[in-house]
Amino acid sequence: MMVLLHGLILSALGLMVIVLAVNLVSFRTAKASTTGNRPRVSVLIPARNEEETVGRCLATLVQQDYPDYEVLVLDDRSTDATVARVREWEQRDPRVRLIPGASLPEGWVGKSFACHQLSEAAIGEMLLFVDADTVHSPSSIGTAVAEMERTRAGLLSLIPHQTMISFWETVVLPLLHFVTMCFLPFSLVSSTRNPRFAMANGQFMLFRRDVYRSIGGHAAVRTAMVEDVWLSRLVKRSGHRLVIMDGGPVVSCRMYRSFSGIWQGFSKNLFPGFNYSLPAIGGVMAFLAITSVLPFLLLPAALLGGVAGFLLTASVAEVALLIGIRVALAARFRMPWLSSLLHPLGVSMVIAIAANSCRWVVAGGGARWKGRVYDFRSNLSIHS
C-alpha cells in the first residue's frame, strides 16, 4: 500500500515538474517598446475603502511615459478617506477623475458593478482595469499596449510582482504561483480556444474596447466573485486571443497586509473559483494534501521508524522535488526564499481557507468582503 502511495505521489510530482519546466521556458516577460500604435487608454480603478493604497497607485500612474491616457477612479461607497485621497490627485492632474459609484443593484458583485460603471464612463480605445493596490513603473501602460499590439490580443493580462512583507504573506501568497505554474500549461492559454485553459489577473487587465463590449463586459459576469477568470473564458469563447504575461518588471501589488486580510480575501474567492462545486474543490484540496503535505509527514516518520530502501528514498525524493519546485519559483518571480521551506504550512493554510470558503457559502449565508455579503447559494453544486 505504501509503495503504491509513494508511486502515485512521485508520478504526480513528476508531471508537475514537467509542466513547471515548460512554463518557465515559455512564460514571457512583458517588454517595453516605443514602436507601434499608441491608442488612447482609459485606466480604470475600482476603489472601496482603499485609503491606504490608492494614493500611491495614482502617484505612479500620473508618472507614465505614455502619451495619451486618462485615469478614472470609481468610489464604491467607501467609508474611509478614499475619496479625499483621490480628490488630492484629481486637483493635481487633469487626467485623474473621481466617479461617485451608484448603489449596488441586487444580483451584482461590488467589483464587477464598479468596473461596469467605469467602462461606461471611459473614452479610451483600450480599457485597462487595475486594482487600487497596484504600483506602476513609468512604462507600465506603454509596455502593455506594445505587447497587446504585438500579440494581437483581445485581452492582455499582466501578472504583477507580488510584494510580500509579513510572515503570513510569505507563507500563503507564493501558492498562487505554485498552483498556476505547476497545473496550467501557459502555452495553451494563447494558442488554443479551449476556455478551460484560460486565466487572467484582475490586478492588471487590458482590453480592446470592442472585445470587451462584444463579450458583454463585466455585466456578463455580474455574479462572479472571481470575475477575472470568467472574463478570460468569455474572451476565448468569443474567438478572441487571450495573452497572459509576467508583468513583474513594470507593475507590483501587495494584495493583503494581514492574516485576516489573507483569510477573508481567499475565503471570498476559493469556493466560487471552483464554480461552487463541492466535489471539485474537495478533490483538489485532497490532491494538494496528499502531494504537498503528506510527504513532509512521511519523511520524518520513515527516519524515526528506521525505514530504508524504496520507501525512504521515495520520501526524500518527494520532499526534495517540492522544495526544488518552490526554489525555482522563488528565483523566477523574486519571492522570499523562506517560503520554499514553509511549503507544507502554506498548503495547509490554503486547505483551511478552502474549508472556510465552503462554510461561508453553504452554511454562513454567503461570501463576505468589505462589509458586503454575497449569497449565491443557488449556484451551489454538490454533485458536479
pLDDT given for residue 84 in this prediction: 97
Contact in structure between 360 and 100 (CB atoms under 8 Å): no
- Average of per-residue pLDDT across 68-89: 97
**CA 102 to chain centroid:** 26
Separation between Cα atoms, residue 192 and residue 230, nearest integer Å: 16
- Expressed in percent and rounded to 5, the helix, strand and coil fractions of the chain are 55, 15, 30
Neighbours of 114 (CB within 10 A): 27
- Average of per-residue pLDDT across 264-292: 94
Instruction: Transcribe 337-365 into DSSP letters.
Output: THHHHTHHHHHHHHHHHHHHHHHHHHTSS
Q: Where are the domains of the chain?
A: 2-22+263-379, 31-160+201-257
User: In this model, does residue 71 exceed pLDDT 90?
Assistant: yes
Separation between Cα atoms, residue 275 and residue 224, nearest integer Å: 9
What single-letter DSSP state applies at residue 62?
A: T
- Higher pLDDT: 257 or 295? It is 295
pLDDT given for residue 35 in this prediction: 65
- Average of per-residue pLDDT across 82-107: 96
Name the band, by pLDDT with cuts 50, 70 and 90, for residue 1.
Answer: confident
Name the band, by pLDDT with cuts 50, 70 and 90, for residue 376.
Answer: low
pLDDT given for residue 382 in this prediction: 45
- Higher pLDDT: 158 or 34? It is 158
Closest to 137 measured CA to CA, from 119, 166, 105, 160: 160
Separation between Cα atoms, residue 227 and residue 269, nearest integer Å: 10
Name the band, by pLDDT with cuts 50, 70 and 90, for residue 164.
Answer: very high
Closest to 63 measured CA to CA, from 198, 250, 246: 250
- Average of per-residue pLDDT across 199-206: 96
Question: In the numeric block, which cell numbers belong to residue 10?
Answer: 512521485
pLDDT given for residue 137 in this prediction: 96
Q: Report the share of the chain in percent with pLDDT over 70.
A: 96
- Average of per-residue pLDDT across 88-110: 95
pLDDT in tens, 300-330: 887 877 666 778 889 999 999 999 999 999 9
- Average of per-residue pLDDT across 15-29: 96
Q: Is 38 left (phi over 0), alpha (psi -120 to 50) or beta?
A: beta
Computed over every residue of the chain, the mean pLDDT equals 93
pLDDT given for residue 31 in this prediction: 87
pLDDT given for residue 384 in this prediction: 37
pLDDT in tens, 220-237: 999 999 999 999 999 999
Crossing angle of helices 310-333 and 174-183, rounded to 10°: 110
Q: Report the largest interatomic distance among the alpha carbons of the chain, rounded to a whole angstrom.
A: 72
User: In this model, does residue 379 exceed pLDDT 80?
Assistant: no
- Average of per-residue pLDDT across 282-299: 96
pLDDT given for residue 220 in this prediction: 96
pLDDT in tens, 31-51: 877 667 899 999 999 999 999
- Higher pLDDT: 305 or 263? It is 263
CATH code that applies to domain 31-160+201-257: 3.90.550.10
Which is it for the CA torsion 327, 333, 338, 343, positive or negative?
negative
Separation between Cα atoms, residue 338 and residue 47, nearest integer Å: 32
Paired strand residues for 208: 126
- Average of per-residue pLDDT across 63-89: 96
Separation between Cα atoms, residue 112 and residue 274, nearest integer Å: 18
